[in-house]
Amino acid sequence: MDKIETEFDIKIKDNFLNQKDFNIIKSIAKNTVFGSDDIAYTKKSGHVFFTSDAPKEVVDILYKNVSNFFKIKILNINLCKYTMVAKSDVAQVHNDVSEQTNFQSIFYIEGNQDMHCGTGFYIKNKDKYDLNSHIGFRPNRIVTWDANVYHAPLSFVDSFTKRISLITQYKIEY
C-alpha cells in the first residue's frame, strides 16, 4: 500500500506449476459448476464474474509455489477463488487493496490463448482509467502485482471469450 497507483511491479511466469499440480487445479476447475448463486458483483466498478471457493488443497499448492518462486513471506491468504469471466460491454476497472490485501495473483487455467482474453492494467487519470499494459491469457501462467494497481479482465474487447482462472489475494510482508 506504500506504492502509488501508477507504479507497476507486475510479474509473469509461464508454466508456473509442475504438471501434477496444474492437473489437480485444472481438474477441479473442470468440475466446478458456476451457477446464478456464484455471481459476484463489485458495485464500484461494475465488475461481474462467477466465483467458487478453491479447496484447501489448491490454496496449499498456490501458497507453497508463490512463496517459493517469488521469494515472499505470505502472512495470510485472504481469498482464493476459481473465477469465470464472461464477455462484458465495458472495462470493469478496479483494485483490491485493503488492510488484509496488499498482493495478488491471477493464475490462468482454461480459455482462449489470446492477448485479449487476459488482464489489463490501468493508470487512473482524474475520473478515467487509461490502459497501460496488458497480459495475454495462457494456461499455467501466473501474473502477480501489488493490490493497489488498477486492473480488469479484457472482457470488453470483441475477441474476448470466457476464461477460468484462480484469483488469490494475500497479505505479505514487505
User: What residues of the chain score a pLDDT lower than 70?
Assistant: 1-7, 35-49, 87-89, 156-161
Instruction: Give the Cα-Cα-Cα angle 25, 94, 73 (nearest 5 degrees).
Output: 55
* pLDDT, tens digit, 9 for 90 and up, residues 70-91: 999 999 999 999 988 775 667 7
Class of 33-173 in CATH: mainly beta
If one counts every other C-beta atom within 10 angstroms of the C-beta of residue 22, the result is 17
Supply the pTM of this predicted model. Answer: 0.87
Q: Which of 15, 25, 14 is nearest to 59 (CA)?
A: 25
Residue ranges of the domains in the chain? 33-173
* pLDDT, tens digit, 9 for 90 and up, residues 158-172: 666 678 999 999 999
